[in-house]
């Protein structure tokens, strides 16, 4: 099993760092899956996460100049490992003016992802900073736990309002209630509602736009429905806020799919990085 | 006693106070004939900082000493660090608004008055209470050190930024042409969970790189950061004096008007050796320029993992911590020395003091007094007061006997006359 990659473009560093920063804000530990052409940051929906799951996919070609991977076997040319995204972010953070960044899978006192950052220096010899981030290699028989989630059979699909605005609203609501109802319809309208014994607050968003999914089966079924009907899901407000506050990458559009009373699914697309986040409804 | 500090120097004084505040809670204030000394020491006495402002720094300097320049005024005190910090609270506004700072002892002799004369006729007066105190006199000789590195503070600041702000201890190793900074793992921390960072610098980056002894020392980074921020703003080159582990490391800044010294204790030999054993599986980083696959070999690890899985045990390194430990124990030899090290922890205090005796080789007294209390003593704070003697647990700090047997680097000047004679005889 071997993995070595090299990055030399400053723009790539910064972009990669921002992606890792977002991941580190969404979850403490996640699974990194490496294939010959993609990197995936995966959080599978365990009870420990409160059922939240995440799938982030990047094309390695957009970031790395060199990328060599030898997976567990030739038929399964992939590597899965657990790591603390925060460590990776910390290591990348100080590499913003690096000359080059090399990432390797190594086996020191334990399996590690080693980042070797070459920095400009005052002398002819560059400064080298190495970070050894311990990882847990995941054996092949557990790979089924980390399958790509399928897009759910949603009832409504809508574009979110600007994340910053939405984050500010949800942040204020967090002080009043632990749960928030997110509802939307096919007319580009979305409401965020909280309700307690003392107060209920609703924020209305209009003209958001609904993405068209083309041949998607669920699209047909919704066409019969009245576009004004609201589909809603009640979620833990902190999970929603974690998702909104964690965004370091500014995506052009964020799609929100709601399965009535069951789950909300967010999809962000930004320059060949796609991030999907699922929050289940509160029981 | 009266000092007057003019305009831009007020900010320097404020920065010095803030820098010392990273070390401890009490500021020792001592006007000497050679200048005003501001000192601080931390509670475990393993870090000491001193800013000596020569008379040239001041617009007016009167230490209160009798004329003749031979004696000191004898006035020395300590004040709460927070109170002094309040005087120099906002550094940027100090720069813009303060024209003069006067420091006087009030007529009653019970308050130290800091008066800031600001623009627009505003005067801010702070009356700080103080406590008469002993003089904090560390004993260290910068000439006696084998290794001296000098560099622009920017270099060290750039190095330190790669380590997390929470990092307590850093290990610095020099060899020939390179110096390496590595984060030091505490014994209790699990090496398989901690991120290890290492930075190496070439000798060329330093203004002066004198290494007579290839060695590695470990000290607390937190206390140094205060000095680094001061040094960066001053632009003065920072010198680092050190040699064997166990011997304190001295950081100094030199200027015609100001002399700064920070002395930090370092981990002793025993603790650093076991750590090095633990790290033996980490290959040296000096050859990162070569592309070598030696440390990339995951195959042996995979084999070990598969065989333990086949054996029936659920080898899931990603799930529980206990499984992970089992995995690790089947790995390299380095892991097993770690558990040994843990066992060593209890009697380490006894080992330390005897070890340190060998290192110092000056004590003639018996070891009995220390060994009475050491076995069974819970593991001490990491940086045993290497500074003011060897192992000093909180309850033994008052025990003068222990002090007598060890080399005291900084003594209380109001200790017993007999003890003082012995100390001076030993020096």
> What does the block give as tokens for B297?
């070999």
DSSP-assigned states of every residue in A107-133: ESSSEEEEEEEEE--SSSSPEEEEEEE
pLDDT confidence of residue B176: 81
> What does the block give as tokens for B222?
């937190």
- What pLDDT digit, counting tens, does each position of B11-57 carry? 999 999 999 999 999 999 998 888 999 999 988 888 999 999 999 99
- What pLDDT digit, counting tens, does each position of A144-170 carry? 888 888 888 888 999 999 888 999 999
Q: Is B218's pLDDT higher than 70? A: yes
Q: Is A185's pLDDT higher than 80? A: yes
Confidence of residue B413 (pLDDT cuts 50, 70, 90): low
Q: Is B223's pLDDT higher than 60? A: yes
Exposed/middle/buried for residue A141 (C-beta within 10 Å: 0-12, 13-18, 19+): exposed
A121, A137, A142 ranked by CB distance to B202: nearest:
A121
Confidence of residue B164 (pLDDT cuts 50, 70, 90): confident
Instruction: For A109, name the nearest residue in chain B, comparing CA atoms only.
Output: B281
Which of B298, B313, B339 is the best substitution to test chain A (most A C-beta atoms within 10 A)? Answer: B298
Instruction: For B197, name the nearest residue in chain A, comparing CA atoms only.
Output: A131
Is B132 an 8 Å CB contact of chain A? no
* Residue B230 CB neighbour total at 10 angstroms: 26
pLDDT confidence of residue B360: 34
Q: Of A146-155, B195-204, B233-242, B377-386, where does mean pLDDT reach its minimum?
A: B377-386
pLDDT confidence of residue B70: 62
A82, A108, A131 ranked by CB distance to B295: nearest:
A108
Q: How far is A77 from chain B (nearest CA, A)?
A: 14
Is pLDDT larger for residue A55 or for residue B398? A55
Is A106 an 8 Å CB contact of chain B? yes
Average pLDDT over residues A181-186: 92
Interchain pair B197, A132: CB under 8 A = yes
Mean pLDDT of all residues belonging to chain A:
87
Q: Cα–chain-centroid distance for residue B63?
A: 29
Beta bridge partners of A127: A119
Phi-psi region at B35: left, alpha or beta (left = phi > 0; alpha = psi -120 to 50): left
Average pLDDT over residues B370-396: 39
- What pLDDT digit, counting tens, does each position of B80-106 carry? 999 999 999 888 888 888 999 999 987
Q: How far is A63 from chain B (nearest CA, A)?
A: 21
ipTM: 0.81
Tokens 């009167």, located at residue: B62
Average pLDDT over residues A58-84: 90
A2, A87, A131 ranked by CB distance to B298: nearest:
A2
Is pLDDT larger for residue B326 or for residue B228? B228
> Is B8 in contact with B2 (CB distance < 8 Å)?
no
Q: Is B338's pLDDT higher than 70? A: no
- What pLDDT digit, counting tens, does each position of B339-350 carry? 333 332 222 222
Average pLDDT over residues A171-192: 92
Q: For A1-19, b where at least 16 C-beta lie within 10 A, e where not — what string?
A: bbbbbebeeeeebebbbbb
* Residue A178 CB neighbour total at 10 angstroms: 12
Predicted structure pTM score: 0.71
Mean pLDDT of all residues belonging to chain B:
70
Give the containing element (helix H, strand E) for A269. strand A263-270
Q: Is A15's pLDDT higher than 70? A: yes
Give the containing element (helix H, strand E) for A22. helix A10-26
Closest to B176 measured CA to CA, from B217, B215, B219, B218: B215
Percent of chain B with pLDDT over 90: 23
Average pLDDT over residues B358-387: 38
Query: SS in 3 state form for A200-260?
Result: EEEEEECCCCCCCCCCCHHHHHHHHCCCCCCEEEEEEHHHHHHHHHCCCCCCCEEEEEEEC
Is pLDDT larger for residue B200 or for residue B363? B200
> What does the block give as tokens for A43?
């959080």
- What pLDDT digit, counting tens, does each position of B272-323 carry? 554 444 444 344 333 333 344 444 556 555 555 555 444 333 333 333 333 3
Q: What whole-number distance in Å separates Cα of residue B101 and Cα of residue B123?
A: 10
Is A253 an 8 Å CB contact of chain B? no
Average pLDDT over residues B175-187: 83
pLDDT confidence of residue B175: 86
Is B162 an 8 Å CB contact of chain A? yes
């Amino acid at each position: 099993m071997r993995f070595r990659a090299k990055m030399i473009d400053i723009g790539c560093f910064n972009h990669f760092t921002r992606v890792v920063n977002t991941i580190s804000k969404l979850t403490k530990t996640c699974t990194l899956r490496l294939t010959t052409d993609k990197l995936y940051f995966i959080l599978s929906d365990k009870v420990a996460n409160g059922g939240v799951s995440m799938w982030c996919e990047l094309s390695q070609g957009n970031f790395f100049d060199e990328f060599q991977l030898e997976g567990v076997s030739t038929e399964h040319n992939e590597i899965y490992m657990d790591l603390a995204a925060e460590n990776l972010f910390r290591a990348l953070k100080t590499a913003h003016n690096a000359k080059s960044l090399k990432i390797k899978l190594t086996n020191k006192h334990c399996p590690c992802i080693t980042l070797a950052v070459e920095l400009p220096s005052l002398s002819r010899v560059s400064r080298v900073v190495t970070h050894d981030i311990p990882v847990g290699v995941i054996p092949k028989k557990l790979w089924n736990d980390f399958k790509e989630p399928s897009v759910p059979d949603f009832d409504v699909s809508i574009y979110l309002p600007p994340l910053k605005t939405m984050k500010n609203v949800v942040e204020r609501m967090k002080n009043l209630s632990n749960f928030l109802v997110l509802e939307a319809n096919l007319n580009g309208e979305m409401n965020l509602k909280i309700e307690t014994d003392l107060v209920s607050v609703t924020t209305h968003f209009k003209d958001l736009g609904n993405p068209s999914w083309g041949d998607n089966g669920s699209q047909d079924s919704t066409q019969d429905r009245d576009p004004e009907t609201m589909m809603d899901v009640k979620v833990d407000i902190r999970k929603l806020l974690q998702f909104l506050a964690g965004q370091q990458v500014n995506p052009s559009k964020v799609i929100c799919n709601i399965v009535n009373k069951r789950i909300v699914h967010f999809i962000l697309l930004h320059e060949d990085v796609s991030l999907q986040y699922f929050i289940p409804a509160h029981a | 006693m009266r000092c007057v500090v003019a305009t831009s120097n007020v900010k320097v004084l404020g920065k010095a106070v803030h820098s010392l505040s990273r070390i401890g809670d009490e500021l020792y204030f001592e006007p000497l004939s050679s200048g005003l000394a501001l000192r601080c020491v931390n509670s475990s006495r393993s870090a000491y900082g001193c800013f000596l402002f020569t008379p040239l720094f001041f617009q007016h300097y009167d230490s209160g000493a009798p004329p003749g320049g031979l004696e000191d005024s004898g006035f020395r005190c300590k004040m709460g660090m927070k109170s002094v910090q309040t005087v120099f609270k906002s550094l940027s506004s100090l720069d813009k608004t303060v024209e003069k700072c006067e420091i006087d002892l009030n007529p009653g002799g019970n308050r130290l008055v800091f008066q800031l004369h600001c623009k627009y006729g505003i005067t801010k007066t702070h009356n700080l209470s103080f406590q008469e105190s002993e003089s904090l006199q560390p004993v260290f000789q910068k000439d006696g050190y084998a290794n001296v590195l000098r560099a622009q503070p920017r270099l060290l600041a750039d190095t330190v930024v790669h380590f997390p702000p929470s990092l307590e201890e850093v290990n610095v190793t020099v060899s020939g042409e390179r110096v390496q900074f590595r984060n030091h793992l505490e014994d209790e921390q699990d090496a398989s969970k901690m991120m290890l960072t290492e930075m190496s610098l070439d000798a060329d980056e330093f203004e002066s790189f004198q290494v007579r002894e290839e060695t590695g020392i470990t000290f607390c980074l937190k206390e140094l950061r205060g000095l680094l921020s001061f040094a960066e703003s001053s632009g003065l080159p920072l010198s680092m004096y050190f040699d064997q582990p166990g011997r304190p490391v001295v950081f100094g800044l030199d200027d015609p008007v100001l002399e700064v010294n920070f002395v930090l204790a370092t981990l002793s030999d025993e603790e650093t050796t076991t750590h090095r054993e633990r790290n033996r599986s980490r290959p040296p980083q000096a050859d990162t320029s070569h592309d070598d696959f030696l440390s990339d070999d995951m195959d042996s690890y995979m084999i070990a993992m598969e065989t333990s899985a086949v054996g029936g045990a659920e080898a899931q390194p990603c799930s529980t911590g206990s499984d992970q430990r089992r995995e690790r124990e089947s790995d390299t030899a380095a892991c097993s020395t770690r558990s040994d090290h843990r066992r060593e922890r209890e009697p380490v205090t006894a080992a330390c003091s005897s070890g340190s005796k060998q290192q110092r080789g000056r004590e003639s007294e018996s070891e009995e007094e220390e060994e009475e209390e050491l076995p069974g003593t819970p593991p001490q704070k990491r940086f045993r007061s290497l500074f003011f003697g060897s192992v000093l647990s909180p309850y033994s700090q008052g025990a003068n006997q222990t002090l007598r047997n060890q080399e005291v680097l900084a003594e209380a000047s109001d200790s017993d006359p007999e003890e003082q004679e012995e100390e001076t005889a030993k020096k």
